[in-house]
Chains A and B, each alone.
Chain A
Amino acid sequence: MDTFEAPIHPFRRAWKSRSFLIGLCLASLILIAGFISLFWTPHAIDSLNVANRLQASSSQHWLGTDQYGRDILSMLMIGARTSIIVALIAVGIGLLFGVPLGLLAATKRGLVEEAVMRTNDLIFAFPAILSAILITALLGPGAVNAVIAIGIFNIPVFARVARGGALSLSGRDFLLAARLSGKSGLRITLEHVLPNIANLLIVQATIQLSLGILAEAGLSYLGLGPQPPLASWGRMLNEAQTMMAFAPQLALYPGLAIVVSVLGFNLLGDGLRDLLDPRLRRRIR
Chain B
Amino acid sequence: MKVQGTLKALRSLAVGVALVVSASPLALSVAHAKSALSLGIVLEPPHLDPTAGAAAAIDEVTYANVFEGLTRIGPNGEVLPALAKSWEISEDGLTYTFELQDGVTFHDGTPFSAEDVKFSLDRARAEDSTNAQKPLFAAISAVNVADEDTVQVTLSEPVGSFLFNLGWGDAVIVSKESAAGNKTNPIGTGPFKFDRWIKGQEISLDRYEGYWGTPVALEEASFKVIADPNAAFAAMMSGDVDAFPNFPAPETLIQFEADPRFKVAVGSTEGETILAMNNESGPLSNKLVRQAISHAVNKQALIDGAMFGRGTPIGSHFAPHHPAYEDLTGTYTFDPEKAKELLKEAGYAEGFTATLKLPPPQYARRGGELIRSDLQKVGINLEIVPLEWAQWLSEVFREKNYDFTIVSHTEPMDIGIYARDDYYFNYKNPAFDDIITQLNRETDEEKRYALMKQAQEMIAADAVNVFLFQLGKAGVWDANLQGLWVNSPIQANDITGVSWKN
Q: What residues make up the interface of A, taking CB atoms closer than 8 Å to B?
A: 46-51, 53, 67-69, 141, 223, 227-229, 238, 241-243, 245-246
Contact = CB atoms under 8 A, between A and B. Distances in A.
Contacts of B252: 242, 245
Given A68-B369, A227-B386, A242-B251, A46 B376 contact: yes
Interface in B226-259: 229-230, 233, 249, 251-252, 254-255
B298 A50 contact: yes
B254 A242 contact: no
Interface in B294-336: 298, 301-302, 304-305
A81 B370 CA distance: 23
B254 A241 contact: no
B373 interface: yes
B305 A53 contact: yes
B254 A229 contact: no
The 8 closest A-B pairs by CB, nearest first: A50-B305, A50-B301, A48-B373, A242-B249, A241-B230, A228-B369, A242-B252, A242-B229
Nearest to B234: A241
B301 A238 contact: no
Contacts of A227: 384-386
A207 B317 CA distance: 55
B373 A242 contact: no
B305 A228 contact: no
A49 B229 CA distance: 23
B184 to A, nearest CB: 24
Given A229-B384, A241-B233, A242-B229, 13 more contacts: A48-B301, A48-B370, A50-B302, A67-B305, A68-B305, A68-B370, A227-B385, A228-B372, A229-B369, A229-B372, A242-B249, A242-B252, A245-B252
A241 B385 CA distance: 22
B377 interface: yes
Interface of B: 229-230, 233, 249, 251-252, 254-255, 298, 301-302, 304-305, 368-370, 372-374, 376-377, 384-386
9 contacts: A46-B376, A47-B377, A48-B301, A50-B304, A228-B372, A242-B229, A242-B230, A242-B251, A245-B254
A49 to B, nearest CB: 8
B237 to A, nearest CB: 11
B162 to A, nearest CB: 43
Given A50-B370, A238-B230, A246 B386 contact: no
B250 to A, nearest CB: 9
Contacts of A46: 373, 376
A32 B441 CA distance: 70
Contacts of B385: 227
A10 B65 CA distance: 74
B305 A245 contact: no
Interface centre among B233, B369, B376 (most CB of A within 10 A): B369
A54 B408 CA distance: 27
Contacts of B230: 238, 241-242
Contact of B386 (A48, A49, A141): A141
B301 A229 contact: no
A48 B305 contact: yes
B430 to A, nearest CB: 39
A237 B79 CA distance: 46
Most chain A CB within 10 A, of B298, B302, B304, B373, is at: B373
B252 to A, nearest CB: 5
A245 B369 contact: no
Contacts of A223: 386
B375 to A, nearest CB: 11
A228 B384 contact: yes
Nearest to A240: B230
B446 to A, nearest CB: 41
A34 B177 CA distance: 65
Contacts of B372: 228-229
A141 B391 CA distance: 13
A146 B254 CA distance: 36
A143 to B, nearest CB: 12
A53 B308 CA distance: 11
Nearest to A67: B305
A245 B233 CA distance: 12
Nearest to B385: A227
B272 to A, nearest CB: 21
Contacts of B298: 50
